[in-house]
Structure 1
Amino acid sequence: MKASVIANKDFTIAKIDDRVYGAFLEHLGRAVYEGIYEPDHPSADQDGMRGDVAELVRKLNVPVVRYPGGNFVSAYNWEDGIGPREERPTRLDLAWHTSESNAVGIHEFADWCATVGTEMMLAVNLGSRGVDEARNFLEYVNHPGGTYWSDLRIKNGRKEPWNVKMWCLGNEMDGPWQVGHKDAHEYGKLAANTARAMRMFDKSLELIVCGSSNADMPSYPDWERIVLEHTYEHVDHISLHMYFANRDDNTPNYLGLSHKLETYIDTVAATIRQVKSKKKSKRDVYISFDEWNVWYHSNKKDREILDGNSGWPHAPGLLEDIYNFEDVLMVGLILNTFIRRSDVVKIACIAQLVNVIAPIMTEKGGPAWAQTIYYPYYFASVFGRGTALHLATRSPGYETTHAAETPYVDVAGVHDEDEGTLSFFLVNRHPSDSIETEVSLQGFGSGSIIDHQVMTHPDLKAVNTARNQDEVAPKKGEGARIEGDRLTVALPPYSYQMIRVKL
């Protein structure tokens, strides 16, 4: 079985925004407490942040982290997380039926971001709160001094403002599960008013308005159209969320979900263009895909807590999906889709970063380790910077419930002109056949392979654990070669790989 790809230097999609490799941390389960923050851990720094987790995050080169939610933000009072810890209130979190100690707030999160080398992307509460709290939070975070909120920040130990540029106007406000859920017109008006107020403070802010929580919502895609009609001139991005599941244990169909993702992006991109035309606007609005990941493994286990049968525990284990090799392929396909749609997707956040549906897991007082999905995320984030190539791919395919023709070979290519490299990320969806793949490198000149990493495993359900952390891990690839302007490589069945070429 064979596939072919044409990569032409002049056929490009867009410069990839580095923030498409962003991440997300919510006050949910053990993401923050026992995730990034565990003051009694042997690796903890002077601020109580786990050093082993910070090191795994730094390796990912995460450009931005969205915080503090998520469903949590829709009933969150940001003021609870400032000032002396011993004076901070404990609150009930209605979203996840837990209690919140507020031991970690904006100061602690900002310091952690500086430690791991990432930027903050903050969300304001437009569920139980509104314009006033949003503008006060913004003033606290970004104003130099001489006002009530900025002077309070200084009093709390931070003299210089953080100058956060990215702000989310609420979270999943289309969802009836959300505290303060609103219809599209209600939310659109509130978001527009909030955006106007925040822009009165700083016109250079990047504001992100809520799109649909998923493509199966009954209000989709009218939600996007209505909300953008209210907010188009005041925002820069509209957010989309999507989670991926193999509930029927049907791997071919599961791996076909990337087609549904592409359709979702295409539909919202078309809606953006429609509203832009209706408004006669010269502005462009882009997509912030600020929640995405595989999520289904832990659903049954979580019901006891989410149904309220466990009281209001603090930082219980919730949404702790243990990812397998099959999920490596799915995450690789999602990232390839974002690269190919880098013309409209400018921000994306894997949800989440630690413990909660995350590439990194921890044990309380014990080790931290990379889950299986850590690796495709790592390869894309570290080596997928540059310009996305418009590839012409021909591959045999198969039918799924999502599309009549899903190609077995899925590939994304990135040209880093400054470094003089090409990076290709390839997934073979075929369950039993190796596929000989030829990539025609047109206009790039000569080149040599400098890195080839392969992920494959005989057991699709194989996982990494604290005691066996490398059961599913990349290995050095063999057999890829360049002859003239032709790169050839064999893709084993059910495999993910990255090939880098030095030009």
Structure 2
Amino acid sequence: MTPARLTLDPAFCVGPVRRRTFGSFVEHLGRCVYTGIHDPAHPSADADGFRQDVIDLTRELGVSTVRYPGGNFVSGYRWEDGVGPLENRPTRLDLAWHSSDPNTVGVDEFMRWARKAGVEPMMAVNLGTRGVQEALDLLEYCNVGKGTALADRRRANGAEEPHGIRMWCLGNEMDGPWQIGHKTAHEYGRLAAETARAMRMIDPGLELVVCGSSGSGMPTFGAWEQTVLTETYEHVDHVSAHAYYWEEDGDLDSFLASAVDMDGFIDAVVATADAVRAAGKHTKRINVSFDEWNVWYQKRAESRPPTGDDWPIAPVLLEDTYTVADAVVVGSLIISLLRHTDRVHAASLAQLVNVIAPIMTEPGGRVWKQTIFHPFAQASRLARGEVLRPVIASDTYATAKFGDVPLVDGVATYDAETGETVVFAVNRSTTDTVPLAVELRAHGITLIEATSYAHADPRWSASVDDDDTVLPRPNGSAAITADGEVTMDLPPVSWNVLRLGRA
């Protein structure tokens, strides 16, 4: 096996590590909210009914932002139903997931949870069944201090100070025919532009995310972004990207190369945004909010919503069980997001709890970490400073979906304050350990730590009874050579982290 080589120079930067890259997503879907973050009967529940064990793991995961309340759910959501006295809140049908929502958790409860979890809220408005006025009402309720009907209504509901939400999504996946209030690109673009313009009349400092196409495989992809951004360019800051195409369907080699698809998706969205910029002679740049991404096994039974007269509250939905291979793919997707940090300014792993999630709960019972928890937590904790632009030399292997793909992929970050360089790397080989040599063009390096996340069976999954058999473990092969290179053996199907410091 030819060693892979990763060459780094602290002077060659992509851009800053953005804390918002490590966001997540809480939607009123399945058990994400009810028996997920909110479970009043749980022994650890606080006075607001929030599970402290979930809050603790959210903090350990290193989540920076949380997008709320959807997702498909938001396109039929009436936010007023979820504020005020609980006894006055109606139960509503959620058409997106064929469920019922009791509105026990609404805007004010979510904001209290966000403060407890130490996360920045990212609020979505309903542009499916609603429009400009309803978005303005929600913004006034959340962000105006006092003296208006809706601001004073919030204060009467117990939130004396404004919530101060800075980042807002203008609807969700509006090109999707599954979306309530689905629109053409022109229809949505005009509505989003008018909504954005009006919202900025209340608060000019908002950061606004306009809906991109709901996936690169959509017939509308590309043309949708062009039309929508032509309408909205001067009124918004980011365009969204969503992707869940990645799942193992028996072709593990292609699955492990999923980041190739994410790279191409991001590049295409950026190219389209820049084309609109040039055509419109705009000066600012629109960046990407990759605010839904994950491995998702959409063909499994747990992804099928209820049907008929069954409209349950918090049904078991989208509760995928993740493998070590899934975790390695999630790690590789994080690598892709980091290496695009110049244009990807926010991202949200979808979702946080129970629903295609790194954290799982039993109602009233135990909590545990899925395999995908670990690469996300390590990257969120260790990525600091600037993202470096590495030169990677690696053998390739053939895949059915993406052609020839490098066996080893990676990225690195450099923190000038501490002098620490962190390398994140994946080995996509299903059979071979691949030696990695890192050349860091800086004087006097030390080896702080080297870990690998791997298992002899890449399809091993965590469970409520065993979520610690496979953890990131020290990799004893890491060493500094006589000529100052760092070497490390990367196990098959593995996520690897190498921390280097100044001597």
Aligned to 2:9: 8
Question: What per-residue deviation string (whole Å, max 9, x for no partner) do you get for residues 136-189 of structure 1?
Answer: 100000000000000000000011101110000000001000000001000000
Contact 2:77 2:126 in 1 (8 A): yes
Aligned to 1:296: 297
Q: Helix, strand or coil for the counterpart of 2:189?
A: helix
Q: 1:475-486, aligned counterparts within 5 Å?
A: 475-483=473-481, 484-486=483-485
Aligned to 1:327: 326
Q: 1:75-94, aligned counterparts within 5 Å?
A: 75-94=76-95
Q: 1:72-151, aligned counterparts within 5 Å?
A: 72-151=73-152
Aligned to 1:26: 27
Aligned to 1:201: 202
Q: CA deviation at 1:460?
A: 1.6
Contact 1:298 1:321 in 2 (8 A): no
Letter in 1 for 2:94: D
Contact 1:463 1:471 in 2 (8 A): no
Contact 1:61 1:381 in 2 (8 A): yes
* Inter-CA distance 247–489: structure 2 relative to 1 (3 Å threshold): closer
Distance in 2 (CA, whole Å) between partners of 1:493 and 1:460 is: 9
Distance in 2 (CA, whole Å) between partners of 1:13 and 1:228 is: 25
Letter in 2 for 1:235: V
Q: 1:138-287, aligned counterparts within 5 Å?
A: 138-287=139-288
Letter in 1 for 2:410: V
Aligned to 1:58: 59
> 38-47 vs 446-455, which deviates more?
446-455
Q: 1:251-400, aligned counterparts within 5 Å?
A: 251-296=252-297, 299-303=300-304, 305-306=305-306, 308-309=307-308, 311-400=310-399
Aligned to 1:487: 486
Question: What per-residue deviation string (whole Å, max 9, x for no partner) do you get for residues 35-88 of structure 1?
Answer: 000000001111110011110001122111000000000000000110011110
Question: What per-residue deviation string (whole Å, max 9, x for no partner) do you get for residues 81-106 of structure 1?
Answer: 10011110000000000000000001
* Inter-CA distance 247–405: structure 2 relative to 1 (3 Å threshold): closer
Letter in 2 for 1:466: V
User: What RMSD, in angstroms, separates the aligned Cα atoms of the two structures?
Assistant: 1.1
Letter in 2 for 1:355: N
Contact 2:233 2:286 in 1 (8 A): yes
Letter in 2 for 1:33: Y
> 278-287 vs 95-104, which deviates more?
278-287
Contact 1:36 1:54 in 2 (8 A): yes
Letter in 1 for 2:349: I
Q: Helix, strand or coil for the counterpart of 2:403?
A: coil
Distance in 2 (CA, whole Å) between partners of 1:158 and 1:333 is: 41
> 239-248 vs 285-294, which deviates more?
239-248
Q: Helix, strand or coil for the counterpart of 1:410?
A: strand
In the superposition, the TM-score normalised over structure 1's length comes to 0.98
Distance in 1 (CA, whole Å) between partners of 2:9 and 2:218 is: 39
Letter in 2 for 1:416: D
Aligned to 2:410: 411
Distance in 2 (CA, whole Å) between partners of 1:173 and 1:418 is: 43
Question: What per-residue deviation string (whole Å, max 9, x for no partner) do you get for residues 312-350 of structure 1?
Answer: 000011000010111011101100000111111010000
Q: CA deviation at 1:476?
A: 1.6
Q: Helix, strand or coil for the counterpart of 1:37?
A: coil
Q: Unaligned stretches of 5+ in structure 2?
A: none
Q: CA deviation at 1:248?
A: 2.4
Q: CA deviation at 1:298?
A: 6.8
Letter in 1 for 2:487: T
Distance in 2 (CA, whole Å) between partners of 1:232 and 1:201 is: 19
Q: CA deviation at 1:469?
A: 1.7
Contact 1:298 1:319 in 2 (8 A): no
Distance in 1 (CA, whole Å) between partners of 2:490 and 2:67 is: 35
Distance in 1 (CA, whole Å) between partners of 2:494 and 2:62 is: 24
Contact 2:297 2:303 in 1 (8 A): no
Q: CA deviation at 1:453?
A: 1.6
Contact 1:272 1:285 in 2 (8 A): yes
Q: CA deviation at 1:297?
A: 6.5
Letter in 2 for 1:352: Q
Q: CA deviation at 1:431?
A: 1.2
Letter in 2 for 1:223: W
Contact 1:290 1:350 in 2 (8 A): yes
Q: CA deviation at 1:489?
A: 0.6
Distance in 2 (CA, whole Å) between partners of 1:318 and 1:453 is: 34
> 171-180 vs 58-67, which deviates more?
58-67
Q: CA deviation at 1:310?
A: 6.2
Distance in 2 (CA, whole Å) between partners of 1:249 and 1:486 is: 38
Distance in 1 (CA, whole Å) between partners of 2:302 and 2:334 is: 28
Contact 2:254 2:402 in 1 (8 A): no
Aligned to 2:445: 447
Q: CA deviation at 1:394?
A: 0.3
Distance in 1 (CA, whole Å) between partners of 2:109 and 2:263 is: 37
Q: CA deviation at 1:309?
A: 4.2
Q: Does 1:473 align with 2:471?
A: yes
Q: Helix, strand or coil for the counterpart of 1:164?
A: coil
Distance in 1 (CA, whole Å) between partners of 2:248 and 2:7 is: 35
> 120-129 vs 471-480, which deviates more?
471-480
Q: Helix, strand or coil for the counterpart of 2:379?
A: helix
* Inter-CA distance 295–44: structure 2 relative to 1 (3 Å threshold): same
Q: Helix, strand or coil for the counterpart of 1:399?
A: strand
Contact 1:74 1:170 in 2 (8 A): yes
Question: What per-residue deviation string (whole Å, max 9, x for no partner) do you get for residues 411-468 of structure 1?
Answer: 11011112221111110001111111111100x2212122222111111211111111
Distance in 2 (CA, whole Å) between partners of 1:414 and 1:129 is: 43
* Inter-CA distance 80–16: structure 2 relative to 1 (3 Å threshold): same
Contact 1:41 1:364 in 2 (8 A): yes
> 172-181 vs 54-63, which deviates more?
54-63
* Inter-CA distance 247–439: structure 2 relative to 1 (3 Å threshold): closer
Letter in 1 for 2:313: H
Aligned to 1:462: 460
Q: Unaligned stretches of 5+ in structure 1?
A: none
Contact 1:424 1:499 in 2 (8 A): yes
In the superposition, the TM-score normalised over structure 2's length comes to 0.98
Distance in 2 (CA, whole Å) between partners of 1:282 and 1:478 is: 51
Contact 2:302 2:319 in 1 (8 A): no
